[in-house]
């Protein structure tokens, strides 16, 4: 008798689901609710614990990825800064062992003074006159200090005058940390 009753309920259920999709979705929800209600409390606590662990793991992974991203960004910033510093040394070392005309040398002096570069440019003319521009260079200590000339000599009669047609040979001087701090120019023609 019980089997007959269960069989009749299944047939009725199949007919209702076929006629009404709304009834079928409500029936699925009721089945899920019935399953949850029939679970033991211990099983519910285990599922809750597993859910909590999964949420914690997702949070830990998110924090770890965030920290690694920050470290990569900082590393990239340091590399860019080092490359930029190296680039400024490359610009200065281009003058090492090369000659310039006096007109080009005056442009270099003006740019260095205007940009307030941490660089001394020493010019020695054929008369033997030495002028330290922008900063004073101390060859005995390989250092530079404030006090360099910021104004180019325009009087042709003065020893510090840079002849625009003269040729000057450059040598780069470095400090104890191998930073380019001075370009030493001697007039050769």
pLDDT digits (tens, 9 = 90+) for 98-111: 899 999 999 999 98
Chain centroid to CA 50: 41
Q: Which residues pair with 122 in a beta bridge?
A: 132, 184
SS3 143: strand
What pLDDT score does 180 carry? 87
Question: How far apart are the two ends of the chain, measured CA to CA in Å?
Answer: 124
- Could you tell me if 171 and 165 are in contact, meaning their C-beta atoms sit under 8 angstroms apart? no
Q: Domain range for residue 137?
A: 97-187
Per-residue pLDDT reduced to its tens digit, 138-170: 988 889 999 888 888 888 888 788 989 999 999
Q: Classify residue 149 by burial, with Cβ atoms within 10 Å: 0-12, 13-18, 19+.
A: middle
Distance CA 183, CA 121 (A): 5
The reply to whether 24 falls in a domain is: no
What pLDDT score does 40 carry? 75
* 103, 183: one domain: yes
The reply to whether 25 falls in a domain is: no
* 106, 179: one domain: yes
Distance CA 104, CA 184 (A): 15
* 101, 73: one domain: no
* 68, 114: one domain: no
The reply to whether 63 falls in a domain is: yes
The reply to whether 115 falls in a domain is: yes
* 75, 128: one domain: no
* 116, 149: one domain: yes
Cα maximum dimension of the chain: 131
Among 146, 116, 133, 137, which residue's Cα sits nearest to residue 181?
Answer: 137
Q: Which residues pair with 15 in a beta bridge?
A: none
* 102, 180: one domain: yes
Q: Name residues of the chain where pLDDT drops below 70.
A: 1-39, 82-89
What domain count does the chain have?
2
């Amino acid at each position: 008798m019980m089997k007959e009753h269960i069989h009749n309920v299944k047939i009725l259920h199949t007919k209702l689901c076929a006629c009404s999709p709304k009834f079928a979705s409500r029936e699925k929800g009721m089945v899920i609710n019935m399953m949850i209600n029939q679970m033991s409390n211990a099983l519910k606590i285990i599922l809750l614990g597993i859910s909590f662990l999964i949420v914690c793991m997702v949070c830990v992974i998110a924090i770890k990825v965030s920290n690694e991203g920050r470290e990569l960004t900082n590393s990239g910033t340091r590399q860019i800064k080092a490359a930029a510093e190296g680039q400024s040394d490359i610009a200065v070392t281009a003058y090492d062992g090369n000659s310039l005309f006096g007109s080009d040398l005056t442009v270099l002096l003006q740019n260095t003074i205007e940009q307030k570069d941490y660089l001394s440019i020493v010019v020695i003319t054929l008369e033997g006159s030495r002028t330290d521009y922008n900063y004073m260079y101390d060859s005995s200590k390989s250092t530079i200090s404030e006090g360099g000339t910021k104004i180019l000599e325009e009087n042709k009669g003065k020893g510090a005058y840079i002849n625009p047609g003269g040729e000057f040979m450059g040598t780069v001087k470095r400090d104890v940390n191998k930073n380019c701090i001075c370009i030493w120019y001697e007039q050769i023609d």
